A = this chain, B = another copy of it.
Amino acid sequence: MTERTTRHLNEVNLEAIGSLIEKIRQEPQAAKTEWKAEVRWTGAFRSEARSRDLGPLRSDEPSALGGSNTAPNPVEQLLAALGNCLAVGYAANASAAGIEIHSLRIELAGNIDMHTFLGLGGENAGYESIRAKVDLKSDASPEQLKALHEKVVGSSPVGHSLSRAVPLRIELG
């Protein structure tokens, strides 16, 4: 009888990540991924987004913007996506580096001038800037944490999607 154990750190399955990296090393095309979501409008400023067979991500606007305040609005979801992406990045890279995370909390904030969205002039309807403050508790040295932080910020899919211009094609069809 043999016993198999799986190596975990921060609850991350290190072998699953190792296998994925090995697969992509041998077959670079496997790194090319496509992601999808489908959004249905449900009345007023409410809508629901679904990906794969997972539960919906509900959206609404605050009362001050004419919504019914039942869910975070799309620009809050954008900050959530960035924070969640950074959290995965810390969990993955800390685990690979042998760093145990005691706790991780990320505060995000960003500014938007509503003139453009409301059709009152201006050119940029989006975030003027976004700040994220990371509170990571760990026994790792400041040098280890600095290296971890730089790795995470330099390899964040949502971070790069925001800090670079992504070509969008939006078609009515």
Contact = CB atoms under 8 A, between A and B. Distances in A.
A171 B88 contact: no
Contact of A84 (B16, B57, B114, B124): B57
A80 B51 contact: yes
A130 B63 CA distance: 30
A78 B158 contact: yes
A1 interface: no
Kindly report how many copies of this chain are found in the complex they form together: 2
A162 B77 CA distance: 13
Nearest to A133: B173
A87 B42 CA distance: 9
B167 A164 contact: no
A15 to B, nearest CB: 9
A51 B37 contact: no
21 contacts: A31-B120, A33-B113, A33-B114, A35-B109, A39-B83, A39-B106, A49-B81, A49-B84, A59-B87, A66-B92, A74-B158, A77-B77, A77-B81, A77-B158, A126-B156, A128-B166, A130-B169, A131-B169, A149-B170, A162-B168, A163-B166
Contact of A165 (B43, B107, B110, B163): B163
A78 B78 contact: yes
Of the candidates A25, A116, A134, A164, the one having the most CB atoms from chain B within 10 angstroms of its own CB is A164
B167 A80 contact: no
A122 to B, nearest CB: 8
